Every structure is written in C-alpha cells, then in structure tokens.
Structure 1
C-alpha cells in the first residue's frame, strides 16, 4: 500500500529509534508497516496517547497489511469511535464469516462440533475500561503492531492458529480526560514526586465515562452505549478468551488470576473455569513475568463473584475472562517505597501478558473449545435437572419499565416469550440458562463474607419486577425486539382536559416536556374514577391533569403538543369531557395541585462521590431530558441558589464554613426542596438541617473485649461493610413520594452504612425496611440485628416552609434501578407540595 506523505515527512524529520524494550523479542518486522513510534512521533511510554490517534494507528495497520481488518462497533456518549481490530492470517480474514459460523457451533448445544477441529481460536484483548489506568491502551498499540507486522515464527503461528480481536480503549471518554491531564502536567525532566499535580487528578478524574459511570460494572447492566455496543459485538463472536487490563495503587506490583475464592457458596459458573483454566493460564503468566524479572501476586484479592465485570461476564458465556492489575505510575514516572515506577515499565507488563494470553490460548485450543461446548450443554442439563421450568413476570401498569427490563434480557440473548397481554415467561431450558439464573435467582448464604464489589445482582429486582418461578412453560409468541411492543394509542382531542398516567416510568419525562412547552399541569393527590370513552376507569394518586381552558394555547395546539410528547415517551394519555367524577375527587378539587417546573442543581467537585452524582445527571439527561446545573464546590461561595427550587446532595465530604451551611438552611426554609442521597443524608443530619437521627449500635460498657488474631482483622472488619445488598421496604402509598407505585413493598439497593431512625413524626417516614427485609446479598448478623430492623429507608424532614427528602439508600444506583428511580423523580416533581403535618 502507498505510504501517506505525512509518514514520509515524519520519518525524514525525526531521528526515531526502535523501542527494543518492547519489540526486540519478536523481530523481524515488515518494514512497510509503520511502528507506533514512527506513526506517533514519540516512543510508546514517553507520552500518553489520545484515543483518536490510537484509532488512527489501528486504521493505518488495517490499510497497510492483509493481516488486519478494523470495524467500528459503537460510539461513546461523547461520540468517540469504539473500534475492534481483527488480526489473523489473510486466508482466515478472507474466510471470516465461515470461521465465525463454525465457531458459533460450539455455543449451540443442538449442533455437533469437534473440539479437535482445525479451527483458529478466538481471543479478544480488551484494554482500558478505566480511563485513568492508561498503560493497557499503550500496550494495545504494541500488541497490534507485533501481531500484524512481526514475521517471527511465534507470531506467524499466532496468526495461523488464532483470530485476535483487539479493543484498544473500552472507555475513550475517560481515557482522553486523563490523557489531557497527564500530558498537561508532564514535566521535563519528569517529576516523580507523588504530590505533583501530574499524579493527582481533580474531580471527577478519568476513571469513569462521560456520565461518571464505572464501565467495568456495566457488562451485566448495559446502561451505557460503550457496554451495549460491546455486548452486541460479543454475542456475534463469543471469544474463547477475553482479557481485562487494569491498574491499581502505585505501591503494589502486578496481579493476574487466579483470584481469591469465589464468594458464592455454589457459583453458577463451572468449577473448571475458576480452578482448571485459571490455574493453567496462571502458569503461563508466571513464567513470562519471571523471565523479565517482574514481581506479581495471585489469589489474595479481587473476586469474580459479580457477573458484570469484563473479567467475569465472559465466564458466563463459555469463555475465560482474565483480570490483570498493574501498579500504576499515575503519570509518566513516580517514586514509591520500592523505587521508581515508570510508564514504560507498566506498559511492558501489560504487553507481556497480552502476548502470553494469545500463546496460552493457541497452545490449548482443544481444551478451550471443549470447555465452551460443554458450558452450554451443561447449562441445559442443569436446567433440566432443576425444579424451575421458567420465570413468569407480570406488569399490568407500567409498560415502559417492563419494556426496559425485556430489553435488558434481550441484549444478553435470553429467550423471552409472551404470556398474555401483561406477562412474559423466561424459560430456563435455553442456552443462556446461567444468565437467566443471574437475572432471577437470589441468595442469602455465602462461602465468603467479604466481597470486592456487590454481593446482590438479581436484575429483576432492579426493575421492581413481580416474578415467580413456574414448573410448566407455556410459550407464546417469542419477543425479539421491544420496538412496537405494547403500543400506546394516540389520545383523541378534548376541549376539556387530558389525564396522563403517572404509573408509567416515562411520565415524569412527558411532564417536563409539556412544562417546557409552556403548558400548566396539576397532579391529583387523591384517587378518582371517571369515564373515558364511555368506559369507567380508575386513576391513582399522582395522575397528571391538563385542563385545556387554563392554557395559553388553543385546544388544537395543546392536543398537538400532547401527541408529540406521547409519540416520544409512549405514555398512556386519556381525553375526558367532564371534571365530575364517579368516585373520588373531581378535577377541580383542592387535591388537584398545580405543579412547579423543577429547576434543579447539584453540588459536585473534590470530595463528592462522582458515581452518585453521575447517576443523577445521567437519569435526568438521558431519560427525563431535563437539565440539572452542576455547581462545583469551589464556586459554591459565589453561586446564587435563588435560581433553583431543587438541590441534590449526594455522598461526599463537604467542607463548608458556618455561613455556607446557613445559606443552605435558609434556602430550604424559603420553601425549596433539598434531596439527599446516602452519605448526603448524613451531611444533612450532621449540619442539623434535618430533624432526623442515625441509628447507632448499642454500647455495653461492661462488655469485655475478646482477643482476636491480628491476621484476621481485615476480614472481620470487612464483613461488617455493606458492599451491596437488596432489601425490601414498606411504602406509604398515600405519600406523594410513593405516587405511581401500585404495591407497598419495594426492593431497594443498599451499599452503605447509613441507617436512619424512623421519624418521631408519624407522617414523615415514607419507606421503612420491612419485616424479613432481606431479598438478596450478604448482610452480617450485626447489621441485621442492630440496624436493619430499626431503620428507615426514606424520610422527609420539614425546614421552615421547605423540606429535606432523605434517602438512606441510592435510588439511582448504576443507572439500573428503574424500580426506585420513581422515588427520586417524585421528590423532584412533587416535592414542593410535601407538607409534614405536626
């Protein structure tokens, strides 16, 4: 291929040297293919490389060599490309669709496929899911160059016996945020002092994506476009081995699997995965790292219990997921107690592990193929031996939330069938049986009490789905797409009023849309029954009322705006001709209260938990289409709160002086609403804005202290933390914060130790943990006995004419808790009408 002029000029002008530190082992290279150093104009490790340049380099490899092809599998929130470079010998790439067809036969239990067949193994090298863990994307550039350009016999064998898929940057938005930081503060000479700005990013840092989500937790939940694109790619290819490269604290060395023992008592992944295959591949990694003198450790930390990591999701798809953790230089070079750690050193360890992964996969092709085939076969066998034939899920009232849940099943290739108008069945007898288990099974007993992350992930509870196991399966029409599912008829014209169903998940979005178009709506704070199209119909508290005569637009303009909103949000809407109702309150009742358009702000910045702040931002941006002003704490002193009627405070360390604290108190007292989440509720209590108290453990001054082994301290302390558990609360359905719910019991997610005392005011405790509240996940006996049974989940505390809504739990956790989002949105849209009676 003709080399672009820019490369000729670059090579002519710069005295570039080959980077033997990385590349010498695999010489010779095809001189017609530019190395990363030639392309970039600097050696790998000298600077952090922007994502666009990474993509451009991989595109250049695909143009320059028949050994590579590139595809775009998606785009990030900030519209950066997500790409996959496919590397193999030209004969394989020209026949890739046939190889794909043969490979997928191993994932279909109905097909016979010989594990000994002469078929290349599929290996997917995934890099940089956390944006400020940058060494792996630099290693991706080197891995791509070696696999494409090297003529070394070992690499020729890799191309002959494998198809390698290279995903260079799973989180481009976060990576570029960190890249800009590290390069901006890079010194010359390099500054290795750990206190230098280069090594200490400001809020929110580069770890997360655009909305500050941790994409390494999103494989199961599939909320973000980066994850959805990757999952759609994954289920086209089902690679046999998948890598997940990370970085950790600078004081560490290097970690590879095996991990610590799986926390589940009876893991749903086959034992062969986390014992045999991990141990086998671990022996390869130890030899490779020994050969270059790198220190490492295994088995001590990290666990693959949660199925939504990049290193655990493949384990539930017949593949082998592999986690790597490299001590980070947090910039270009940094001093540590063990000496200086440099960016090139961190890159080399990741590169060595990349090449070793391909080597181990190629040398154990038959074993990996047999494992993949047996994985899906054993799934069907397990289903047949179980007592559950299917899970039946019913949702009569909120079809948009139901569709969101069905979409989540479908993206994981789970088979779903209709069961009448309001229900679905999910059979267990299907290749994705283990994913069905992941969605519906709950657990209370565990082998380990300390988890690296969540110990509960039954996704059906995230969506507040009412489901039950059934023995017999009655499969109706298969659902393969949510488009057109549960259509909503267009509302007919009315000259009197329209009613909008507040039980629908999208109703707040439709409300904000209509408010933004200048329409005035109210909410019915009591139930009523009226006639719609000549048929008697009941409406629940929260129902939106849009009286036509009170608008500043013509009846036709009002109808057109409602039709546009209904087309966008698919919310059931009804035309009525009279305000006189058969039962309950009438439309002109004092219980029909006009709604204030929310003008929301949220405090962010150093000390604030970016995950929780990002979840609020994401919810309002992507589902409600409502702006929220993000005020940095550094600017709070000069910021005016008078522009807002809602203020959100998530967990964090807020260092205010007395006058700043008083400003917030006075702002609430004027009639505004402060919404606090988890640790933010503790802040409201500590500053005495809310007349609420925390539950404290009982102390017995006479109790003696038992002597315990020092070596068990971290485990004993760790088991009392609440890493992530699903609990059940009892809701007061008459309270505005609970409007839209049809059942008083609701699953909530708790991943903190914020335990609120129920209010002394009998009307202020909106949600309290139910008797036998545990649904799923590990919770210690101490937490159950001393805290859970005497705590509330959701309270309201008056402050002057305003109020504080205090969440003990996170209603927006990881963008996935559709079931509790409504509590938060009710606080935003209905909060100004909440009065706490004395």
Structure 2
C-alpha cells in the first residue's frame, strides 16, 4: 500500500434544490397494440435534484486505509458498543478481499449488538452458503416492521394513495458478480454506518424508512474470487495488469457454482440464489433496489440512467425521471470526492431479467452502479493507480447518496409506485387482449416448471373449466391454463409473451426476447377481448398432475409382466432412465412406434411412440426390479406399463432389432481455458441437476492426455479450438469411428466443420459483411451497423424431423431455438443428416436485422452425421440457454440416450 497522507473534507454537499414542474406528466410508448397512457405524479409532488447538508451523502476518499473510519463521514458520533468490521475481520475493510463466511460472521455480530438490525437467512446457495438479508430500521420500528411491510403491500394492492408517513423500503444489493467485490466489501461499512451512527439524518432515515441490505448476491462466486485475489497478494502489492492476481483462472469468480451469470437470472429463476431473492422482493416490494457492480479497470464509475432509448417499453418514463433525480445526488457526492463518472451511455434497461431492471416491471426503481475494477488489490489503469480501497469507497459513497436522494424525493418515489399500479389498471382496460391460454400437451414435467416460474413471480393463472377452441386449435381443459391480463403483474406477463421483433432502438446490451411460451415450447395463444366469453374458468386449482394420473402412479407394476415400457415425452424421462441404469436395470430404446397389451387392459392395446424405453424381463435384471420401477414411476411422475406379451398388435415386436440397448453413459465435458464457462456451466447444470448424470469435466489443455476410450460421449461448447493439435483431432476422429458420439454447439460446430467431421460449411464473416450496405453511412453510424450484424438474443423457428431419434419425444414439427450469435451453417440439402433447418421466415421474437434473418433462412440448425460406429452431433445454437430454454434442453439427453439408434 502507498503511504500518501490524506486529508478529509468534512463539509456537506452544497445546498441546491431544483424543483421539477408540479404535475409531472410523461407519456410512454408501449407495444403497438397498446394506446399511450399518461403516467403522472400528484400535482403537489416535488422532485429534488440536489441535497441539503446530509452526512448520508458525505464520505470522502482515503486510499491508504488504516481504519474503517477512513471510509466514513465525520460527525457521526458512532456508538462504541457496535463492532466495526475490523473488530471481527481483524483488519480494516479493503486490506484483504473479504470471504463470504467473514461477511456472515460480521453481519451476525452486528445484528447481535444493534437493536436497529435484524438478520434473516433467506436461502442457501448450491454450496450451502447462507443468503442473508438485514432489515435495518429504528429500534422502535423493529417490533412492528412486519406490520409496516403488510400495510405497504395491502395499500399497493388496493391502490391507495401514498401518505407522507408511509415508509420507503430501500433494498441494497451488492456484488451479484463474485469477482466484482467492492460492493460486498462496501456493504460491511454501510451496515455499520446505519447501525452505529448517531447523526440526526441517519436517525431520521431509519425512523421513517426501512433499509433491506443484501450484502452478497453471489456468495459462491465471491468466495472463489476472494481466495484467488488473496492468494496472490504479497507484502508488496503488484499493480502490473499482467500480474496473475489480475488474470483469474477458469472459471472466474463472476459466476455462481454452476458458472451462471446470476445477474441474468432474476426472471428465469434457474438457481436458488435467485429464487430466494425474488421471494424477498415480492415480500417487500421495495421502492428502490440498488445493484452494485464493477466493470473494466480503465473505466471510471457509472450510475443510471442508462441509454434513454433502450429502456423496456413497459417501463414508464417517470421511472427514468426519478432515476435522474437520484443520479444528481450520486453526481454531487462523487464531485466532492473528485471522482470521474458517466451516465446515460453503454448500459440499458431493457431485459427484465437483470437486477437493476426487474424492479422496473413492478413500480420499483432499479439502479445500476458500475465501478472500475481493480480485479485484485491494486492495478494500473489509464486513469492512474486504481486501488481496491478506492473502489470500495465509491460504492459506499453512492450507497449513502442513494439514501440521501431517497429521503429528499420520498413523496415522489412513494407516489410513483402507487401510480404505477393505477396506470397498469388503465393499460389493462385499454388492451385488446383478455389474456393467454397455455397448454401442457404430453410433457407435464416441463409445463410444471414453467408454471412454477409464473408462481414465483406472483403471476396468477387458472384451470379451464371446459375446452377452448381458438383459431382452429383446441386447448383441452385438463391440460391448459388461462393467464388473465387483469392482474398486477400485467406488464411482466406482456413481456413474457412478447413476440415483438422491432424496437425504437435495436441495439441491445443483453437479450431482446425471453418469451416463456417459446422457451418451454408449449402451445399458447392470446385471447382477444371479443373471445373472452369463450373462456370458462374452473373454481378448482390447476392440477399439474391430474388426480387420475397420480392414482395410476401409485399402482404397482405387475410382478409377472413380460416387459415394462415407459414413453419418452416427459422432461423427467432421461432422469428416470439414468436412475434405472445406475441401479443395474437393462433398458432398450425403441427405434419405431408400436402398440402392446398391458396388464389390466386385455381389451385394447396401448400405443407407444418411438423412443419409448423397454425393460425386458428376459434379460438379466436386478432382483428388486419391481421395487425399483415402483419407486421410479412415483418419483419421476412417469407411468410404467406392464406389457403381457412380446408379440405386439401393431408396430415392432419387443424382440425387434429396432430395440437398441442403452448402456450407462460415460460423458466427458470439455472445459477450461479456451472454452465458454457459461455454456459449459449450463450443460453441466442440466446433466447434473436435471438428469442426475455425473459428467467428467476435463480441461481442454488436458484432453490430449486423457484416455478417450473410457467415454461414450464427448461434449464441446463454444470456445477457441484453433490451437488444438492434429494429434488430438486425429484421436477424436478415431474415437468417433470406434463408436463415440461427439457433441458440439455454436462455435464448436465451426471447428467441427473445419475438421470435416460434418459436411456443412460455415458462412464466413466476409459474406455476412457483404450482406450489409454501407452506402451513405458516416463514422458515427459504425456502432449501429455493428449492432445490425449481431444477434444479441432472439427466438428463431426451426423445422424438425421427428422421425429422427434425436427428436424422439418431441410433439410438434417446429421447434423454437434461441439464437445468440450470427453463426450460420450452410445447408447441404441432405435430409438424412441435416435433421433441423430454420424455416423460411425464422424470426419468432426479439430483434434480428432483415439481412441476418435472410442469411439464416432455411440453413442448418441441427446436424447428426453417422461416422462408422459413431456419430457427430452439431447444434448451431445454445440448447441450454441460461438453464431456461427448456424446449431444447432435452436435445442433449436425446443425443446421449437415443444415440444407440444413430
């Protein structure tokens, strides 16, 4: 650490109150079918853009930290009975990177010592680290905080006007990316400041409001990064950007246990961290939610608003107005500290699955902060030496400026949240749609997971009382739900079912669509107001598994059956197959459909689709086979039929050579430096948590030294494979010929093509560039052109060949896939290998330029090429996108368990 002497400036921020015009009115533009609706605050509401002399927003920099107090404002008269972070950590904040267990220890010590602080464990991470939420308010509020919360929620639901005495609920969230640790380290100081300060403005804040503090949104990633940074710190700090401390090993601490970006999971709810957080969000419905991040070392500091034209169209303009009002407080606080910063550029507020944007769909104000990262303890940058303590200071400073801005604009913020729901009711009244009907078809497991996401977001739905016919499609009551738009989550529902393809600004920081119906590949339709009388709702809750099915699952399989069969439609079928294999059950997969007579039904035969799994008692099976099957069918929710004869009334007989033996798969997943940690994590997560398959993870750098013959399947995700040796590619080629199944997706497929493992060729970047005209463009248009050449995230329709084993269990001939790149695989017009192609007009939802849609049209989406005894499987898109795109998840399972058929 350097030994610069530092001076403290203790003056408050300069008075300067700027009043916005009373009766603020904003008109925001929604999707084209919706008429504009005014969003306004009551005429008496004033928005303040500058602050009085509040110590809440006065914290001055001190880079050579000798005490926690160096970060904190003067004049606080801190309560000596409240432990400082250093009292528990053993050193001042910023000396070392704090681990999550240290955060937990300090927060518990703080809650024990302060009557302003209560602590709750809201859940646990994959690695069983506790997720904490601190409720910080005045001591006399602690006993009635539940009453305050309940009254807040009730008043919102009733649409009552905000009262001056109503508290604000301010949710402070830190470091959803584990290797952006300044937020979590700052949270220790924020918690201490609020618990110990005796300043009048802090007391006023806590007397009149409630602060909810989430110190670490990603405990597993934070701990991974803290270990990395600390293990490389010497007595002399090295600021050289080339130093190993600043170049994390693979996988980085940014992600959670399964290497997912948790800041993209607020809407998708794939992980326990997100599920716990969303439950708390809806418990409290905070007025403000902050999201503290870090960005590149050569940046400065960013706070919202982001790019104005890139907000979600369902978010009112008043949200941006209030965000700007709060931004003035951040600016003044950072001005005092002579810190560089920027706003209204780079970042957007479109994707409702991010921490700073999800609140915007609920009348809350989400605020993103991005601090330049030291990625360790100190690093050189174009702005000079960037020390860890300085990054912590900025996050702490803007935490306090958030409180100051919230207090100064309390009435406007409270009024906005109430008005948000009043405006929502007007939108509902003006909408041409009554709601959405969604059908489960045969895969109840997948449908149940979709419904669980809706329930977590407090989206209401009902079972149909009778079948519904719309546009020549029938929605059966027993397998369909109706989602009415007339409910508080109207805007989120509209967003979840959006098929919009064109936007005011077509540049996206993240994905441009997350349509849940397309993601789960379910049949759905919007119900027009003119058809609302056709919708008959049941007064009973929807049964994800009907009572008669539940009853059948409890019935034991026959103990004298000739064979047992279950179908492959359910998303749980691969997990059940894996469970049986691991318990020594010999199974075979049907290459064609058939019918068979089953126990208890001698009059008619039951039909089984291709891909059904058969367990023949003629083969050597475990002694407890019937017990295993009884347990499996109840655990996985899949009925196992007891077949009485091998001679079938129709289709293949049970002894047919079209029943292929399935062995317990031994899957190798290639990861490590050079591969995409997100995609590898998604595949690992699917195999591990959805199937229960223990895949072997091998670094790309070690693959040449790995005995390939041990493995039945090898999976490559996106990565850089240009330096893979010829010796290794030759070994992989021989392994495939010997019976291995090679699976790849996205850029791995491009590498496959270069190795001639598939016959398709990749459309070159030059060809893509040539499809875009530059005539009349100027230098300032270069970014817009670059945006047109990329696909940030949109749904594309493919036509699939359901006669191919890779698509066994799928129920329709079209399949929505999620495209996140402009990678195009040319068609070979070989129908026996190219088993899925994009349709002529493939864009289903989200943004892609006309030029790119034309290039993708009718090209290859999925290729399966048999090679001697093995096969190569190529997926052009990410089939496991963020663990959410369940409609294509099963393709990986089919590539594993159906591969004996190809």
The alignment's TM-score, normalised by the length of structure 1, stands at 0.94
* Conserved 8 A contact 1:758-1:795: no
Residue aligning to 1:79 = 128
Partner Cα separation in structure 1 for residue 830 and residue 891 of structure 2: 20
Q: Kindly provide the CA deviation profile for residues 629-672 of structure 1, in whole angstroms up to 9, marking residues without a partner as x.
A: 00012322221111101000000012212111211111111111
Is residue 515 from structure 1 mapped to residue 581 from structure 2 by the alignment? Answer: yes
Residue aligning to 1:582 = 649
Residue aligning to 1:98 = 147
Partner Cα separation in structure 2 for residue 239 and residue 149 of structure 1: 23
Following superposition, the deviation at residue 152 of structure 1 comes to 1.1
Residues 137 and 478 of structure 1, relative CA distance in 2, 3 Å threshold = farther
Residue aligning to 1:489 = 553
Residue aligning to 2:522 = 465
Following superposition, the deviation at residue 833 of structure 1 comes to 2.4
Residue aligning to 1:320 = 365
- Is the deviation greater in 395-404 or in 606-615? 395-404
* Conserved 8 A contact 1:410-1:480: no
Secondary structure of the residue aligned to 2:119 is strand
Partner Cα separation in structure 2 for residue 26 and residue 398 of structure 1: 63
Secondary structure of the residue aligned to 2:188 is helix
Following superposition, the deviation at residue 702 of structure 1 comes to 14
Is residue 687 from structure 1 mapped to residue 736 from structure 2 by the alignment? Answer: no
Residue aligning to 1:219 = 266
Q: Kindly provide the CA deviation profile for residues 488-530 of structure 1, in whole angstroms up to 9, marking residues without a partner as x.
A: 6235314211111101110000001001111111111111223
- Is the deviation greater in 365-374 or in 350-359? 365-374
* Conserved 8 A contact 1:674-1:803: yes
* Conserved 8 A contact 2:127-2:257: yes
Residue aligning to 1:382 = 427
- Is the deviation greater in 491-500 or in 761-770? 491-500
Residues 698 and 683 of structure 1, relative CA distance in 2, 3 Å threshold = closer
**In structure 2, which of residues 524, 528, 537 is the aligned counterpart of residue 475 of structure 1?**
537
Q: Kindly provide the CA deviation profile for residues 537-580 of structure 1, in whole angstroms up to 9, marking residues without a partner as x.
A: 322110111112213334xx211101111222111221121222
Partner Cα separation in structure 2 for residue 234 and residue 201 of structure 1: 32
**In structure 1, which of residues 55, 58, 71 is the aligned counterpart of residue 104 of structure 2?**
55
Residues 85 and 698 of structure 1, relative CA distance in 2, 3 Å threshold = closer
Following superposition, the deviation at residue 56 of structure 1 comes to 1.0
Residues 460 and 298 of structure 1, relative CA distance in 2, 3 Å threshold = same
Q: Kindly provide the CA deviation profile for residues 570-617 of structure 1, in whole angstroms up to 9, marking residues without a partner as x.
A: 112211212222222222222222112211001111110000000010
- Is the deviation greater in 619-628 or in 537-546? 537-546
Is residue 615 from structure 1 mapped to residue 677 from structure 2 by the alignment? Answer: no
* Pairing 1:288-367 to 2, within 5 Å after superposition: 288-367=333-412
The count of residues paired between Structure 1 and Structure 2 equals 812
Residue aligning to 1:642 = 709
Residue aligning to 1:184 = 231
Residue aligning to 1:675 = 743
Residues 365 and 699 of structure 1, relative CA distance in 2, 3 Å threshold = closer
Residues 481 and 170 of structure 1, relative CA distance in 2, 3 Å threshold = farther
Partner Cα separation in structure 2 for residue 822 and residue 639 of structure 1: 28
* Pairing 1:93-242 to 2, within 5 Å after superposition: 93-108=142-157, 111-242=158-289
Is residue 273 from structure 1 mapped to residue 340 from structure 2 by the alignment? Answer: no
Following superposition, the deviation at residue 429 of structure 1 comes to 0.6
**In structure 1, which of residues 565, 572, 582 is the aligned counterpart of residue 639 of structure 2?**
572
Following superposition, the deviation at residue 484 of structure 1 comes to 8.2
Q: Kindly provide the CA deviation profile for residues 174-226 of structure 1, in whole angstroms up to 9, marking residues without a partner as x.
A: 00000000000012211000000110101011000000000000000000000
Following superposition, the deviation at residue 705 of structure 1 comes to 6.3
Partner Cα separation in structure 2 for residue 683 and residue 25 of structure 1: 60
* Pairing 1:582-601 to 2, within 5 Å after superposition: 582-601=649-668
**In structure 1, which of residues 427, 431, 440 is the aligned counterpart of residue 497 of structure 2?**
440
Residues 702 and 406 of structure 1, relative CA distance in 2, 3 Å threshold = closer
Following superposition, the deviation at residue 287 of structure 1 comes to 1.1
Residue aligning to 1:287 = 332
* Conserved 8 A contact 1:438-1:459: no
Partner Cα separation in structure 2 for residue 319 and residue 671 of structure 1: 56
- Is the deviation greater in 445-454 or in 728-737? 445-454
Residues 68 and 566 of structure 1, relative CA distance in 2, 3 Å threshold = same
Residues 480 and 380 of structure 1, relative CA distance in 2, 3 Å threshold = farther
- Is the deviation greater in 291-300 or in 73-82? 291-300
* Conserved 8 A contact 2:806-2:894: yes
Root-mean-square deviation (CA, aligned residues, Å) is 1.9
**In structure 2, which of residues 94, 98, 104 is the aligned counterpart of residue 45 of structure 1?**
94
Secondary structure of the residue aligned to 2:242 is coil
Partner Cα separation in structure 2 for residue 409 and residue 552 of structure 1: 42
List alignment gaps of at least 5 residues for structure 1: 1-15
Residue aligning to 2:60 = none
- Is the deviation greater in 410-419 or in 254-263? 254-263
* Conserved 8 A contact 1:74-1:225: yes
Partner Cα separation in structure 1 for residue 725 and residue 79 of structure 2: 64
Partner Cα separation in structure 2 for residue 358 and residue 164 of structure 1: 9
* Conserved 8 A contact 1:728-1:774: yes
Partner Cα separation in structure 2 for residue 704 and residue 234 of structure 1: 47
* Conserved 8 A contact 1:496-1:576: yes
Following superposition, the deviation at residue 771 of structure 1 comes to 2.4
Partner Cα separation in structure 2 for residue 765 and residue 321 of structure 1: 45
* Conserved 8 A contact 1:376-1:432: no
* Conserved 8 A contact 1:418-1:424: yes
Is residue 421 from structure 1 mapped to residue 478 from structure 2 by the alignment? Answer: yes
Partner Cα separation in structure 1 for residue 353 and residue 619 of structure 2: 50
* Conserved 8 A contact 1:671-1:800: yes
Secondary structure of the residue aligned to 1:421 is helix
Following superposition, the deviation at residue 701 of structure 1 comes to 9.6
Following superposition, the deviation at residue 482 of structure 1 comes to 6.0
- Is the deviation greater in 575-584 or in 624-633? 575-584
Residue aligning to 2:473 = none
Partner Cα separation in structure 1 for residue 74 and residue 152 of structure 2: 31
Is residue 661 from structure 1 mapped to residue 729 from structure 2 by the alignment? Answer: yes
Following superposition, the deviation at residue 25 of structure 1 comes to 3.1
Secondary structure of the residue aligned to 1:824 is helix
Partner Cα separation in structure 2 for residue 522 and residue 308 of structure 1: 41
Partner Cα separation in structure 2 for residue 703 and residue 553 of structure 1: 63
Residues 815 and 537 of structure 1, relative CA distance in 2, 3 Å threshold = same
Secondary structure of the residue aligned to 1:794 is strand
- Is the deviation greater in 702-711 or in 23-32? 702-711
Partner Cα separation in structure 2 for residue 565 and residue 609 of structure 1: 35
Following superposition, the deviation at residue 96 of structure 1 comes to 0.9
Secondary structure of the residue aligned to 1:656 is coil
List alignment gaps of at least 5 residues for structure 2: 1-64, 465-476
Secondary structure of the residue aligned to 2:841 is strand
Partner Cα separation in structure 2 for residue 480 and residue 78 of structure 1: 34
Secondary structure of the residue aligned to 1:118 is coil
Residue aligning to 1:254 = 301
Q: Kindly provide the CA deviation profile for residues 72-106 of structure 1, in whole angstroms up to 9, marking residues without a partner as x.
A: 00000000000001100011111011101111124
* Conserved 8 A contact 2:68-2:189: no
Residues 24 and 379 of structure 1, relative CA distance in 2, 3 Å threshold = closer
Secondary structure of the residue aligned to 2:422 is helix
Following superposition, the deviation at residue 262 of structure 1 comes to 4.1
Residue aligning to 1:499 = 565
Partner Cα separation in structure 1 for residue 501 and residue 68 of structure 2: 53
* Conserved 8 A contact 2:789-2:822: no
Secondary structure of the residue aligned to 1:769 is strand
